[in-house]
Amino acid sequence: MITFNNVSKAYKGGGRPALQRINFHLPKGEMAYITGHSGAGKTTLLKLIMGIERANGGQVIFNGHDITRLSEHELPFLRRQIGMVHQHYSLLSDRSILDNVSLPLIIMGVAQSIAIREAKMALARVGLENKLNFLPRHLSGGEQQRVGIARAIVHRPDVLLADEPTGNLDDKLSFEIFRLFEEVNKTGTTVLIATHDTHIITQRPKPCLVLEEGHLK
Ligand SMILES: Nc1ncnc2c1ncn2[C@@H]1O[C@H](COP(=O)(O)OP(=O)(O)O)[C@@H](O)[C@H]1O
Ligand SMILES: [Mg+2]
């Protein structure tokens, strides 16, 4: 599903390269974590998969396509196969959670009635079917991140990526969020999560890629 062949990334004007000669393969339907200290290159690695940043060397293979060779106008097609969960939820504060989750589909051109049906299903998967009309600020942090996950899976992506999804949550809520990612993974979605919550993920039964100053250990 996702393969990195000798991938390196150096930012313009940056010091040492953010990533150096990274090799790994995440098969379809698998789940893995990326850990490492702040600045180790976790976010950069995810951005290369999304095509937000470009590698300087090597190949990033996604579903058989080398992303490093895609043109700008081919990238939106790639991104539709990916769902992304952020640390800060980035929900629209003046819209209901049902609107927040259905909006990505409407932007993709899906009919409103279908978008709402799919959004309700995604919100049910994260246990928020009773809060459809709530505004984000009326939910707890853990619930807001559940909305973030529902929004990321509403278009049924092949791959779910998350960048420090529990960065703002305490241990108990973080644990629940990691369990939710495992539930999503069980339905066949490939999942890759960057986190420095090592004390929690060492208790989770999934492989872990460890980055150290741009190198994979
Ligand atoms: N846009 C950028 N421009 C220059 N340097 C960057 C940029 N983004 C990240 N970096 C650098 O790349 C390295 C890896 O950063 P990042 O991928 O954000 O690590 P992590 O997510 O593990 O904290 C760091 O040294 C960081 O300062
Ligand atoms: Mg980061």
Cα of 7 vs its chain's centroid, Å: 20
Q: Quote the ligand 1 centre to 195 CA distance (angstroms).
A: 15
Cα gap 213→21, rounded to integer Å: 12
Mean pLDDT of 163-189: 94
Number of other CB atoms surrounding residue 113 within 10 Å: 8
Q: Which ligand is nearest to the CA of 15?
A: 1
pTM: 0.96
40 CB under 6 A from ligand 1? Answer: yes
Cα gap 188→201, rounded to integer Å: 20
Q: What is the pLDDT of residues 106-159, one digit of tens each?
A: 999 999 999 999 999 999 999 999 999 999 999 999 999 999 999 999 999 999
Mean pLDDT of 206-210: 91
Residue-averaged pLDDT of the chain = 95
Mean pLDDT of 10-31: 95
Residue 105, strand partner residues: none
192 CB under 6 A from ligand 1? Answer: no
Residue to mutate (ligand 1; options 7, 19, 42, 44; most atoms within 8 A of CB): 44
Q: Quote the ligand 1 centre to 148 CA distance (angstroms).
A: 23
**Run of H or E including 32:** strand 31-35
Q: What is the pLDDT of residues 60-78, one digit of tens each?
A: 999 999 999 899 899 988 9
Q: How sure is the predictor about 15, in pLDDT bands with cuts at 50, 70 and 90?
A: confident
Task: Give, in degrees to the nearest 5, the angle at Cα 111 between 110 and 117.
Answer: 90
Q: Quote the ligand 2 centre to 165 CA distance (angstroms).
A: 10
**Residue predicted with more confidence, 192 or 198:** 192
Q: Quote the ligand 1 centre to 107 CA distance (angstroms).
A: 30
Nearest residue (by CA) to ligand 1, atom 18, is 43
- List the structure tokens of 159: 């791959």
